[in-house]
């Protein structure tokens, strides 16, 4: 086996997909399975589909292209606003996309005419997180510019919270979509098919019965992939955790002081590190660094081990409580969404699938 390596339990991911598809479906909500967190890694995407997911979303056309080349023919949406420079590929590879710029949607329209296809558009509405989206007061006018465009199907409205501004989903900010959909239908006489009310973080609203009635789609990645909801700092009820773990190899073990020797300046990333003097410490180094992973998102599965810090290629851990650890041993870590995203993106980190049929 090549280390470092992410070990992926496909059975748990399949279970999470099945549970969430059933739970949301029983409440009139479809699940768009978001694959960007694992870079559309084939075995994980397959497990999502085996769990009942019937629509996929990814933020990278590179990943969508890989999905198409792997034979996935189900609807796939580009969930980051298309760049003008990638409109041609977006129309050819994705069935639809999330959008907020009229000029981009017009460019999508031009490309659809060139190949005789229809591209579905979900117009994003900014309800307070201040990432992407049209402001609510501008939505009706923007929809009026979209619905007449050739090759464009206005599918509905979407919103996103919890990713940039940290704004939590609420009855009030999901109801914004529902109210706007009613206004659109009244003014233009069209049916708003999809109200994409958020992501994993919005599941908590559904569980508490506080989701605005009318929301009929969630874009879910983290809850399927990890069984967690980092925005609300919780495990998602009904899902399994421990779907992925990182395995790293120890390359040095020595007793050293806990406080650096000499004048402290900035580290390789321009930060001034802060250290606590705990006296001599048995320290190990594993072959993993910030080039591979968002180290802050890791936690040692052995609670007697503590992460002390990392450089681009090395992660230093305190193994004072584990005197048996030696060079060549494997140390395992759990991860949050940010760490998973970086690990799955890194070509230097291996991926190993457990329980694959």
* CATH at 114: 3.20.20.10
**Which of 189, 213, 235 corresponds to the end of one domain?**
235
Same domain, 47 and 127: yes
**Which of 235, 265, 292 corresponds to the end of one domain?**
235
Residues above pLDDT 70, as percent of the chain = 95
Same domain, 168 and 287: no
Same domain, 175 and 263: no
In a domain, 106, yes or no: yes
What is the spatial distance between Cα 87 and Cα 107, in angstroms, rounded to a whole number?
Answer: 7
**pLDDT band at residue 266 using 50, 70 and 90 as cut-offs:** low
Same domain, 120 and 254: no
Arithmetic mean of pLDDT over the chain: 94
Q: Which of 12, 36, 120, 351 is catalytic?
A: 36
In a domain, 4, yes or no: no
Same domain, 330 and 275: yes
Least Cα distance to 34 among 79, 73, 100, 67 occurs for: 79
Residues 6+ apart with CB under 8 A from 23: 238
The DSSP symbol for 320 reads T
Same domain, 76 and 185: yes
What is the spatial distance between Cα 334 and Cα 318, in angstroms, rounded to a whole number?
Answer: 17
pLDDT greater than 80 at residue 295: yes
Same domain, 216 and 279: no
Same domain, 229 and 253: no
In a domain, 5, yes or no: no
In a domain, 161, yes or no: yes
Q: Is 278 a catalytic residue?
A: no
**pLDDT band at residue 118 using 50, 70 and 90 as cut-offs:** very high
pLDDT in the model for residue 131: 85
Residue scoring higher pLDDT (16 or 268): 16
pLDDT in the model for residue 268: 60
Same domain, 70 and 182: yes
Number of domains in the chain: 2
Same domain, 169 and 28: yes
139-161 pLDDT, tens per residue?
Answer: 999 999 999 999 999 999 999 88
Q: Rounded mean pLDDT of 51-63?
A: 98
**Which of 235, 260, 281 corresponds to the end of one domain?**
235
Range of the domain at 102: 10-235
In a domain, 2, yes or no: no
Same domain, 155 and 48: yes
CATH assignment at residue 286:
2.40.37.10
162-188 pLDDT, tens per residue?
Answer: 776 677 889 999 999 999 999 999 999
Same domain, 155 and 97: yes
**Helix 42-50 crosses helix 10-25 at what angle (to 10 degrees)?**
40
CB 334 within 8 A of CB 307: no
């Amino acid at each position: 086996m090549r280390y470092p390596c992410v070990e992926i339990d496909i059975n748990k991911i399949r279970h999470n997909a099945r549970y969430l598809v059933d739970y949301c479906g029983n409440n009139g909500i479809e699940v768009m399975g978001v694959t960007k967190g694992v870079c559309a890694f084939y075995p994980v995407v397959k497990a999502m589909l085996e769990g009942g997911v019937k629509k996929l979303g990814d933020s990278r056309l590179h990943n969508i292209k890989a999905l198409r080349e792997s034979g996935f023919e189900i609807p796939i949406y580009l969930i980051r606003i298309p760049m003008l420079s990638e409109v041609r590929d977006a129309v050819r590879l994705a069935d639809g996309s999330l959008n907020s710029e009229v000029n981009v949607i017009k460019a999508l329209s031009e490309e659809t005419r060139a190949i005789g296809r229809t591209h579905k558009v979900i117009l994003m509405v900014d309800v307070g997180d201040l990432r992407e989206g049209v402001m609510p007061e501008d939505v009706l006018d923007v929809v009026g510019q979209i619905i007449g465009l050739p090759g464009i199907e206005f599918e509905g409205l979407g919103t996103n919270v919890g990713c940039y501004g940290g704004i939590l989903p609420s009855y009030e900010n999901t109801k914004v979509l529902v109210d706007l959909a009613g206004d659109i239908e009244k003014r233009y006489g069209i049916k708003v098919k999809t109200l994409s009310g958020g992501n994993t973080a919005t599941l908590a609203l559904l569980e508490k019965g506080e989701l605005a009635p009318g929301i009929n789609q969630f874009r879910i990645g983290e809850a399927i992939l990890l069984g967690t909801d980092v925005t609300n700092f919780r495990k998602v009820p009904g899902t399994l955790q421990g779907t992925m773990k990182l395995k790293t190899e120890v390359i040095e073990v020595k007793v050293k002081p806990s406080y650096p020797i000499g004048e402290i300046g900035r580290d390789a990333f321009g930060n001034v590190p802060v250290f606590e003097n705990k006296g001599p410490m048995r320290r190990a180094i594993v072959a993993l660094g910030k080039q591979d992973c968002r180290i802050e998102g890791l936690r040692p599965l052995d609670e007697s081990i503590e992460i002390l810090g990392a450089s681009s290629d090395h992660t230093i851990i305190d193994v004072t409580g584990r005197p048996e650890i030696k060079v060549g041993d494997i140390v395992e870590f759990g991860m949050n969404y940010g760490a998973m995203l970086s690990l799955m993106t890194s070509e230097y980190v291996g991926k190993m699938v457990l329980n694959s049929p």
